[in-house]
A and B are shown apart, each in its own frame.
Chain A
Amino acid sequence: MTASPAGRASSAPLMGRDAEPTLFEISVPGRTAYQLRTTDVPARPLEELVPADHLAESPVAVAEVSERDLVAHVTRLSHRQFSVDLGMYPLGSCTMKYNPKFCDAVAADPALASVHPATPAALAQGWLEVFVDLEERLCAITGMAAATLQPAAGAAGELTGLLLMRAYHESRGDVRRRVIIPDSAHGTNPASVTLGGYEVTTVPSNDRGLVDLEALRGVLGPDVAGIMLTNPNTLGLFEEEIEGIAAAVHEVGGLLYYDGANLNAILGVVRPGDMGFDIVHMNLHKTFATPHGGGGPGAGPVAVAAHLVDFLPGPRAVREGEGFAWATPARSIGRVHGWHGNALVLARALAYIHVHGAEGLTRVAQHAVLNANWLRRRLAAILPAAHDRMCMHECTLRATPLKDAYGVRALDVAKALLEEGFHAPTVYFPLIVDEALMFEPTETESPQTLEALAQAIERIAARAATDPEGLHRAPQTTPVARVDEARAARHLIATADASRT
Chain B
Amino acid sequence: MADYLPHTAEEVASMLALVGVDSLEDLYAHVPDVVRLAGGLDLPAGMTEPDAAALVAGYGSRNLARASELVCFAGAGAYDHEVPPVVRALAGRSEFVTAYTPYQPEVAQGVLQAIFEYQTLVARLAGLPIANASLYDGASALVEALNMAHGATGRSRMLVSSGVHPHWRAVARTFAAGTGHEVVEVPLVEGRTDWSGVDPEGVAAVVVAYPNYLGVLEDPAEARALADAAGGLLVVAGDPVAAGVLRSAGSWGADVFVGEGQPFGTALSFGGPYLGLFACTEAQVRRLPGRIVGETLDTEGRRAYVTTLRAREQDIRREKATSNVCTNQTLMAVTAAVQLGWLGTQGLREVATRCAQGAHYLFDELGALEGVAPATQGPFFREFALRLRHPAREVVARLAEAGILAGVALDALVAPGDRSIEAPEEVLLVTVTERRTRAEIDRYVDAMRGALQ
Q: Encode contact with B along A116-128: 1 for CB under 8 Å, 0 otherwise.
A: 1111101111110
Which of A47-55, A212-220, A302-310 is found at the contact surface with chain B? A47-55
Nearest chain B CB to A68's CB is how many angstroms away? 9
A34-B350, A446-B11 known, 11 other contacts, Cβ within 8 Å:
A36-B82, A62-B340, A79-B95, A99-B97, A124-B64, A194-B320, A238-B30, A295-B291, A337-B272, A357-B1, A446-B7
CB-CB under 8 A for A294 and B100, given A44-B357, A56-B246, A155-B326: yes
B107 with A351: CB separation less than 8 A: no
Chain A at the B interface: SS class:
loop
Which A residues touch B100, using CB under 8 A? 84, 89, 91, 94, 96, 292, 294-295, 423
Cross-interface CB contact of B296 among A74, A197, A488, cutoff 8 Å: A488
A152 with B35: CB separation less than 8 A: no
Which A residues touch B296, using CB under 8 A? 483-485, 487-488, 493
CB-CB under 8 A for A123 and B65, given A19-B303, A98-B4, A390-B27: yes
Which A residues touch B29, using CB under 8 A? 390
Nearest chain A CB to B361's CB is how many angstroms away? 5
> Considering the complex, which residues of chain A in the window 457-481 have a beta carbon less than 8 Å from any beta carbon of chain B?
473, 475, 478-481
Q: How far is the CA of A312 from the CA of B345 in the complex (A)?
A: 44
Max count, chain A CB within 10 A of own CB: residue among B4, B351, B400, B413: B4
Q: Encode contact with B along A1-34: 1 for CB under 8 Å, 0 otherwise.
A: 0000000000000000111101110000001111
A358 with B41: CB separation less than 8 A: yes
* Closest B residue by C-beta to A272: B35
B444 within 8 A of A: no
Which B residues touch A75, using CB under 8 A? 90, 93
Q: How far is the CA of A343 from the CA of B97 in the complex (A)?
A: 16
Q: List 6 A-B contacts (CB under 8 A).
A: A34-B346, A65-B344, A78-B93, A111-B63, A338-B77, A495-B131
Max count, chain A CB within 10 A of own CB: residue among B60, B315, B332, B412: B60
CB-CB under 8 A for A117 and B1, given A41-B441, A85-B94, A296-B134: no
Nearest chain A CB to B78's CB is how many angstroms away? 5
A294 with B323: CB separation less than 8 A: no
Q: How large is the interface on A (under 10, 10 to 19, 20 to 34, 35 or more residues)?
A: 35 or more
A373 with B27: CB separation less than 8 A: yes
Q: How far is the CA of A429 from the CA of B436 in the complex (A)?
A: 52
Cross-interface CB contact of B60 among A109, A190, A424, cutoff 8 Å: A109
A405 within 8 A of B: no
B271 with A340: CB separation less than 8 A: yes
Q: How far is the CA of A222 from the CA of B139 in the complex (A)?
A: 35
Q: Encode contact with A along B395-431: 1 for CB under 8 Å, 0 otherwise.
A: 0110010000100110011000000000000000000
B95 with A59: CB separation less than 8 A: no
* Closest B residue by C-beta to A154: B327
A452 within 8 A of B: no
Q: How far is the CA of A101 from the CA of B262 in the complex (A)?
A: 23
Q: Encode contact with A along B342-375: 1 for CB under 8 Å, 0 otherwise.
A: 1111111111011011101100000000000000
A141 with B177: CB separation less than 8 A: no
A205 within 8 A of B: no
B329 with A297: CB separation less than 8 A: yes
A406 within 8 A of B: no
Which B residues touch A334, using CB under 8 A? 170-171, 173-174, 177
Which B residues touch A22, using CB under 8 A? 113, 116-117, 120
A445 with B6: CB separation less than 8 A: yes
A191 within 8 A of B: yes
B62 with A125: CB separation less than 8 A: yes
A271 within 8 A of B: yes
A102 with B330: CB separation less than 8 A: no
Q: How far is the CA of A86 from the CA of B318 in the complex (A)?
A: 32
Cross-interface CB contact of B316 among A71, A81, A187, cutoff 8 Å: A187
Which A residues touch B96, using CB under 8 A? 78, 81, 83, 293-294
Nearest chain A CB to B324's CB is how many angstroms away? 4
Which A residues touch B246, using CB under 8 A? 50, 54-56
* Closest B residue by C-beta to A37: B435
CB-CB under 8 A for A485 and B306, given A187-B321, A293-B97: yes
Max count, chain A CB within 10 A of own CB: residue among B61, B98, B298: B98
B245 with A46: CB separation less than 8 A: yes
Q: How far is the CA of A475 from the CA of B299 in the complex (A)?
A: 10
A192 within 8 A of B: yes
Which A residues touch B324, using CB under 8 A? 155, 158-159, 188, 191-192, 194-195
Which of A162-170, A248-256, A396-404 is found at the contact surface with chain B? A162-170
A77 with B114: CB separation less than 8 A: yes
B137 with A84: CB separation less than 8 A: no
Q: How far is the CA of A421 from the CA of B199 in the complex (A)?
A: 61
Cross-interface CB contact of A363 among B3, B43, B297, B347, cutoff 8 Å: B3
B381 within 8 A of A: yes
Nearest chain B CB to A79's CB is how many angstroms away? 7
CB-CB under 8 A for A294 and B357, given A64-B346, A344-B273: no
A163 with B345: CB separation less than 8 A: no
A194 with B319: CB separation less than 8 A: yes
B437 with A39: CB separation less than 8 A: yes
A333 with B106: CB separation less than 8 A: no
A437 within 8 A of B: no
A43 with B357: CB separation less than 8 A: yes
Which B residues touch A473, using CB under 8 A? 299
A351 with B434: CB separation less than 8 A: no
Cross-interface CB contact of B178 among A106, A163, A366, cutoff 8 Å: A163
B453 within 8 A of A: no
Which B residues touch A363, using CB under 8 A? 3, 5, 24
Which of B51-59, B187-195, B223-231 is found at the contact surface with chain A? B51-59
